[in-house]
Structure 1
Amino acid sequence: MFNRKHLEAILITRTELRLPRTTPEAVGIRSTAIAALLDAWKESGLELHSMMILRHGQVAAEGWWAPYAPELSHMLFSLSKSFTSSAIGLAAAEGLLSLDDAVISFFPEVAPEEPSANLSAMRVRHLLMMGTGHEEDTMGPLSSAEDGDWVRAFLQVPVGREPGTHFVYNSGATYMLSAILQKVSGVKLLDYLRPRLLDPLGITEGTWESCPRGIHTGGWGLMLTTESIAKFGQLYLQRGVWEGKRILSEEWVNEATSKQIHNGDDEANDWTQGYGYQFWRCRNGAYRGDGAFGQFCIVLPEKDTVIALTSGTNDMQGVLNGIWTHLLPALTEDVTADPAAHEALSDKLGSLTLEPPVLDAASPLESEVSGSRYVLDENQFQWTALSVQFESQEAVVTLENCEGEFVLRCGRGEWAEGRGVLLQGAPFQRGANHRMASSFTWRDSETLSITLRYIETPFYVTSELKFNGDELTAQQQVNVAFFSPELPSLHGRRS
């Protein structure tokens, strides 16, 4: 079972790698404002997984919603793009490339024999600003390339507009930045960043997904802890300097976080304030890196503030609106110490949790179905059989496929810890051995409800197992997704 003290422990043996801690009032923030922000997110039904607020270089408030925890890395999705951008800035400073280099110049072996004028005009800076001239994201053609050569596939996509004139959010463009970086440096993106950016910041974790040819995806796929996200934002807030040492040039930081291309006119929308080099401009003089389902690194230069967040929500604008409404007005310089408010906030931050669903704790059906093996009809998950063994404080679910058994231990009304691969067909990486938190309850006397949280990702899956005599039907749904949240159902019969 999950132990709260274990979850709250930050497993860092070298304390000098941690950011300094302080109280909100010591850096000009009212504790009551942070508490109000937490309440607003909760009342809006937004699922946050972690939060860290830095002011004047110190952590003023931090919290993790259990079973998420400080030591766990989290999928960043497109927040990865800002790290890829930083690698390009470093490579430019080393003279490995120029932002004005033609994209096709790096890959003559796979470039079209007669490239179009627009493709020929595409420069590295156009990849950075999402102004490649494409009409839509190129990831469709890249991911469907039969030979796995995403670079060749990108260079084959028609470029309908003059580069630099039209914004289209394009993860394929960021992948090309990773491919270019690997071509000119001879090492993969994460390996390039490790000694130049991650190590100086004390970021010791980190993994990155790769394409079929072994190039890091660039536009997504990086996993880091919340504190590492915060350090990255603080580096940019400090204009590229860390502990007195320059990591990124000030010119790069200014250029990367400034508006490089127009992307809309909605004054109330934080996705239409302009785009830099893999950074979004925000309202209120801020900029950010962000990723799907609420992964954020928000920098407010005028307030000397950084906010790092991980989440599992489709309402990313709602997350930002809460910050602008409740936190932004509270970023002042003249705040009187308020021990009672600080203690109340500390209690609130220390008790953050995403409770497992609890409906009916048990069902008379448990004794009948416990240990029974249900043979499953053919399904896209390739599971062949399922059984559930009920014990006093948990249910042990065993799924079988051609490779063997997958055992999932679910707490009775509480989270149980485990590890496992991700479901096939779900919107996240398969094959990785991800941390999980699982629980079960009974929706009614015949319907077992299992909640499975992949606590290094934004995702959780709810499975409803309906037992009807010898028949079993399982309906599954994921909380957030790029497509329909409904996953294919499973059907089986007791053998």
Structure 2
Amino acid sequence: MPLNRREFLKQAGFLTAQASLLSSLPVWAVSPGSAFPRTTPEAQGVSSEGLLNFIQTVENEKLNLHSLMILRKGKVIAEGWWKPYQADLKHTLYSLSKSFTSTAIGFAVSEKRLRVEDKILSFFPDKAPTSVSANLAAMRVKDLLTMSTGHDKDTTGPISQTDDWVKAFFEQPVQHQPGTFYVYNSGATYMLSALIEKLTGEKLLDYLTPRLFKPLDITGADWEIDPKGINTGGWGLRLRTEDIAKFGQLYLQEGKWQGKQLIPADWIKEATQAQVESKGGNQPKESNDWLQGYGYQFWRCRHNAYRGDGAFGQFCIVIPEKEMVVVTTSESGNMQGILNAVWNHILPAVGQLGSAGVQQELKKKLTSLALPLTPGSPTSPLTATLSGKKISVESNAQGISQVQLNFHGKDFTLMLKDGTREHRIEGGIGYWKLGSTSLPLTALKLTRSTLPKELPTRLATSGAWSDEQTFLITLRYIESAHYDTLRVHIEGDKATLKFRRSLSIIDNTEDKRPVLEGKLA
């Protein structure tokens, strides 16, 4: 059972034997609301060599992790953040949010507010279409939980183009008998969020706060909303890495936290077992973690494990037989690659012992993780010429009318003007400079949903000259999974500016935003 931070620090054994370990950790290595003791892998029967091999694999295969936390028996045996990501920052969870939404339904069931066999339409009679099909009438809460609503395809696209997502969900054709046909459907999870709000009068986030987040000492969570202010449910939750680990440990402990049963153990078992056959991935079942079955917004994994799972590698992997929780945040185009690395390196490390030298090598590696800086040279013959010059930009769909770059030593300032607003971004040359920006995040989004108080958003920026005429800027939105690049190319008094978002880089596609043309004043 993990101790809270105060109780843990009171233990004299830690204060003496482990004081040097704690003092050697960087200030960002222990996140706010820390619940877990820190120890070495070997102290919990895990080889440091296996964990080091995991890190080397994800880096060699360019799986683009942002953070990692590994727990065994309620203790953190490895943790690290690839700079500029850091422990005190939240991170977008994408569909890992679904497992938290499922947990809210578990609380509601335990409070006898509903049953999983209840028909979903019975809670929203005012949103029913004029003609209700037999399949729609038969759809249960359980069918939403298990992604077996009977729809042929995900409903998220069509419902998110409207201003009333609940009404639009019920208007979608239900081609199959609910409970008999699986398709991954974030719109179904959204409906679970809408159901919680309908039943309780509270947003999903507010409902979960006293029941889940407060007992686990999770603070600062936020969640995206639809046009009517309903939390999106299927995506959009933001938490810190250790917050995700707390959630995984709670499930590993069958719903018990510091001696109190927060969620019934029966619900944990029901939610995390395979309720339906799942689909996904492009490999055979024996090597495919998307074909192991689906529970209540949890995926089954190989090795008798289960996981909460979000796009681009947001993972909360629970391995009961090894008493382990593995958490990653990421922007990876190869999610199966991350899971393969867990099974190939972390799992076999259990029950093995590593040397003191490897243990120190792992510790050093974990405290020096970093994503690549913008590649290129720190200076160019154009640096002095370009610095301070305003670039007047021709009319464009983004509404950007003026750009300015100012260089000062190892720092630079990017100024972007659109309409009456001026966006100022501070960047580092040869390092990540932390700051914030009021630039809209529309280009980085997969849906229309927004965060309350979304702007300004935290940012880490670096730049370099990719050649003598081109200055390249990387803008990492460090509480999301994504980044943006801006390429400023100068030919005489003409300037060409091109944005490219990280999703386009991962997919090897062109960014839909137009190339901007301008002139130096």
Q: Which moved more, 1:412-421 or 1:319-328?
A: 412-421
Aligned-residue sequence identity (percent) comes to: 46
The Cα shift of 1:443 comes to 0.8
- Given the alignment, which residue of 274, 292, 296 partners 1:259? 274
What is residue 228 of structure 1 aligned with on the other side? 243
Output the CA distance in 2 between the equivalents of 1:180 and 1:358. Answer: 48
Q: Secondary structure at the match of 1:284?
A: coil
The Cα shift of 1:462 comes to 1.8
- Given the alignment, which residue of 475, 478, 494 partners 1:452? 475
- Given the alignment, which residue of 450, 453, 468 partners 2:491? 468
Could you list the per-position Cα deviations for residues 443-463 of structure 1 after superposition, in whole angstroms to 9, with x for gaps in the alignment?
A: 111011111111111111122
The Cα shift of 1:266 comes to 2.5
Contact in 2 for aligned 1:458/1:480 (Cα 8 Å): no
Q: Secondary structure at the match of 1:296?
A: strand
What is residue 402 of structure 2 aligned with on the other side? 385
Q: Secondary structure at the match of 1:388?
A: strand
State the TM-score, normalizing by the size of structure 1: 0.95
The RMSD of aligned alpha carbons is: 1.8
Output the CA distance in 1 between the equivalents of 2:512 and 2:30. Answer: 35
State the TM-score, normalizing by the size of structure 2: 0.90
What is residue 45 of structure 1 aligned with on the other side? 62
What is residue 4 of structure 2 aligned with on the other side? none
The residue type paired with residue 291 of structure 1 is: G
Unpaired runs of at least 5, structure 2: 1-23
- Given the alignment, which residue of 48, 68, 87 partners 2:104? 87
Q: Secondary structure at the match of 1:288?
A: strand
Output the CA distance in 1 between the equivalents of 2:184 and 2:293. Answer: 12
Is 1:32 the counterpart of 2:44? The answer is no
Q: Which moved more, 1:262-271 or 1:152-161?
A: 262-271
Instruction: Name the CA shift for 1:330/1:58 in 2 (closer, same or farther; >3 Å).
Output: same
What is residue 426 of structure 1 aligned with on the other side? 444
The Cα shift of 1:155 comes to 0.2
Unpaired runs of at least 5, structure 1: none
Could you list the per-position Cα deviations for residues 394-437 of structure 1 after superposition, in whole angstroms to 9, with x for gaps in the alignment?
A: 11110001242101111112111110134432326584322111
Q: Secondary structure at the match of 2:219?
A: coil
Is 1:293 the counterpart of 2:312? The answer is yes
Instruction: Name the CA shift for 1:102/1:403 in 2 (closer, same or farther; >3 Å).
Output: farther
The residue type paired with residue 8 of structure 1 is: W
Is 1:247 the counterpart of 2:272? The answer is no
Contact in 2 for aligned 1:475/1:487 (Cα 8 Å): no
The residue type paired with residue 433 of structure 1 is: P
Instruction: Give 1:12-411 correspondences, 5 Å limit.
Output: 12=32, 17-145=34-162, 148-264=163-279, 266-332=285-351, 335-336=352-353, 338-411=355-428
Output the CA distance in 1 between the equivalents of 2:31 and 2:271. Answer: 33
Contact in 2 for aligned 1:7/1:68 (Cα 8 Å): no
Could you list the per-position Cα deviations for residues 336-359 of structure 1 after superposition, in whole angstroms to 9, with x for gaps in the alignment?
A: 473222111111111111131232
Instruction: Name the CA shift for 1:83/1:485 in 2 (closer, same or farther; >3 Å).
Output: farther
Output the CA distance in 1 between the equivalents of 2:226 and 2:28. Answer: 35
The residue type paired with residue 222 of structure 2 is: T
Q: Secondary structure at the match of 1:486?
A: coil
Q: Secondary structure at the match of 1:29?
A: coil
Is 1:486 the counterpart of 2:486? The answer is no
Q: Secondary structure at the match of 1:314?
A: coil
Output the CA distance in 1 between the equivalents of 2:25 and 2:518. Answer: 41
- Given the alignment, which residue of 28, 31, 42 partners 1:8? 28
Q: Which moved more, 1:337-346 or 1:428-437?
A: 428-437
The residue type paired with residue 43 of structure 2 is: A
Output the CA distance in 1 between the equivalents of 2:110 and 2:398. Answer: 47
Output the CA distance in 1 between the equivalents of 2:148 and 2:41. Answer: 40
Output the CA distance in 2 between the equivalents of 1:23 and 1:487. Answer: 47
The residue type paired with residue 493 of structure 2 is: D
Contact in 2 for aligned 1:41/1:322 (Cα 8 Å): yes
- Given the alignment, which residue of 460, 484, 504 partners 1:437? 460
Output the CA distance in 2 between the equivalents of 1:375 and 1:423. Answer: 23
